[in-house]
Structure formats: structure tokens, C-alpha cells
Chains A and B, each alone.
Chain A
Amino acid sequence: MKIKDGFILREVAGSFIVVAVGEAVKNFNGIVNLNETGAFLWKILEKGAEREDLIKALLSEYEVDEKTAAADVSAFTDKLREAKLVL
């Protein structure tokens, strides 16, 4: 799974936001608000990663158990797919 070209993550005024740039603006004119965990996962997905990689990354970065991490990753990636932000 990988973030599509044309989307950028930025931290502005304490918020993590994703917007489209260039040609991608034609299909996506909104603003996505991410929390800190979302931004963390997004940065990994910019390079491309599998579900297991994301869970591992969460476990090493945050104090969560595996079940919670897996659920968080699923919830996040489902939303990204729904918004058509990933390939």
C-alpha cells in the first residue's frame, strides 16, 4: 500500500493536514485532518508499506498492545482507501 502521488502532509499551526497538489487537485479539493498517529502512519505509507509493517511501526513507536495497533491500522487504512488516497 502506498500514498498516491499528488498528496502532501504538512504540520500547520499544530494540526496535521493533507491536501492535494498539481493535477490531483482536480479529483480532490478537500483537506484531511490527521491526528499524530495518523501522520506517523502516513509518513511510512508515503514510501509504501504493508499492513504488518504499519503494525510493527506502531508497536515500536507507541506503548500499545498488538490488538489495539492492528485495529488502529485497519481503521486508518480503511479510511485512506475510502478517500482514494492510497494505491
Chain B
Amino acid sequence: MFSVPRYKIADVVFDAQLIYGYTARLCEKYLYSGGDTPEFTAVMDKADVDAEKKAAGAENFPDYYLESLALFRKLCDYILTYRQGIIFHSSAVAVDGKAYLFTAPSGTGKSTHARLWREMLGDRAVMINDDKPIIRYIDGEFYVYGTPWNGKHRLDTNTRAKVAAICEIRQGKENEIRRITPKDMLLVVMNQTIRPKDTEKLDNLFFILDKLLSSVPLYRLKCDISTEAAKTSFRAMVENKI
């Protein structure tokens, strides 16, 4: 009854022993048939599903969906522990090969803002991931990777791009953007990633955040949902004009 497909996500090859077909379909684009040896096997069982159910609280999700979340959690845990990477709840758009990440609590409008960029830029904009991309620190550079956990609009690309800027989005009546400091961004980012309970993993997270926030330009955008909002952020983040 189990299937054990092999995937490559965020440049990590692994096997996943799955219970439900939903997760297999979700991850289909990331199937791997190359020669690299898998780094680990994610064995999904009822306990994983139950743990996700508990984490979801009052929300009543079907078990197959919870399994997909549990797989994501296992992958993120592996990557944080062994591969210097974190999940970053954001909408990541690549333009001319460089990635721009919009982050905010759910419902603020990061997907909407990413859509405005796509409308403005057409094919020049590539959606890396609209909800849960993974960021990895590799040889002193930050890369954002597409993952199958791509949000309600199902937008992701199985690729990676260098992180060029991170922008916190807040709703506003007028469109304005400014550079912010690592200090300003730290709690924002901490609230949009998975925080491990284990001290060693937590220190891995802090190491990555420290490097990330000190090496990537950071912005705060107050915006509405007009084309002008996208122009405002694009000018600042891509063309460097504030």
C-alpha cells in the first residue's frame, strides 16, 4: 500500500514512504531519477499525521493533506539540521534570474503583490514559489528554491535563484517603500519560519538568519493592490531607486 518515490527538492535527494496519493501527486514535479544517492528516507506514518492535526489546532484538514504537511516538516527539519537551509513563508519571484521575496502573515497580500509583478513583467517574472520556498546558504550565497508546497494558487517552479532582496509587506493606503535594518526584519522573519525546539537546530536557524539579514537588502513596503504598488516595489528592489 505504500509508495516510495524519490525526490529532489532544494537540491536534496531523498526517498519518501507515503501513505496517500495526494502527497505523491503534489510532489510529482520534483521526482528524481538521477544517479545521486538519497540522503535520507522520510517515513510517513499515522503518528506524523496526528502530530500535524494537533499543530493545525481547530482547523479540520483531511489526513492526506496533513501527510503532505508532515513531509514538508521532515524535509525542512533535515535541511535545517544538515544542509543550512530554512523554510521561509513568502512569495518568491525571480526576475532576470534573481529572486525577490515578499513576506507577511497569511492574508496580508504577498501572493497578490507577486501577481502584480507577473502582470507587469509577463514572462520576465518566474514564480519560484508562492507560499513556502526553502532558502539555502551555499558557499556564502543565499538561494531560494521552489517546493511543491506552493500555496492556494499552486505556483512554483522546480528551480533555484539567488536571493536579491527581501521585502515585508504591510497593507497601506499609499504605496511607499523603504530600506529597513536587520533588527527591523528579525522578528518578521522569525514569525515566518518554523522554529525548532531543539537548541542545536535553533542555533542553526539563528546562524542562517544572521547571515541572511546582514547580506541581503531588506525592505518594508506599505501598499494597496494597484499596479502602482508593483511599480513602487520594483523600482526600489530591482532598479535600486527609492
Contacts and interface: CB of A to CB of B under 8 A. Distances in A.
Real binding pair: yes
Interface of A: 8, 10, 12-15, 17, 19-22, 25, 31, 33
Interface in B97-147: none
A14 to B, nearest CB: 5
Contacts of B199: 8, 21-22
Interface string B169-195: 000000000000111011100100001
Contacts of A19: 195, 202
B182 A13 contact: yes
27 contacts: A8-B199, A8-B202, A10-B203, A10-B206, A12-B206, A13-B182, A13-B183, A13-B186, A13-B209, A13-B210, A13-B214, A14-B182, A14-B183, A15-B182, A15-B186, A17-B186, A17-B187, A17-B190, A19-B195, A20-B197, A21-B197, A21-B198, A21-B199, A22-B198, A22-B199, A31-B187, A31-B190
Q: How large is the interface on B (under 10, 10 to 19, 20 to 34, 35 or more residues)?
A: 10 to 19
A38 B186 CA distance: 18
A33 B195 contact: no
A22 B210 CA distance: 22
Nearest to A20: B197
Contacts of A25: 197
B181 A33 contact: no
Contacts of B214: 13
B213 interface: yes
Given A13-B183, A15-B182, 11 more contacts: A8-B202, A10-B202, A10-B206, A12-B206, A12-B209, A13-B185, A14-B186, A15-B183, A19-B202, A22-B199, A33-B187
Interface in B35-85: none
Main secondary structure of the interface of B (DSSP, over half): helix
Nearest to A23: B197
A13 B213 contact: yes
Contacts of A20: 197
Which 6 A-B pairs have CB atoms at the shortest separation, nearest pair first?
A13-B182, A13-B213, A12-B206, A25-B197, A21-B199, A13-B186
Interface in B203-236: 203, 206, 209-210, 213-214
Nearest to A33: B187
Contacts of A21: 197-199, 202
A21 B183 CA distance: 22
Nearest to B211: A13
Contacts of B197: 20-22, 25
A22 B199 CA distance: 8
A31 to B, nearest CB: 6
A23 to B, nearest CB: 8
A30 to B, nearest CB: 10
Contacts of A12: 186, 206, 209-210
A31 B182 CA distance: 16
A21 to B, nearest CB: 5
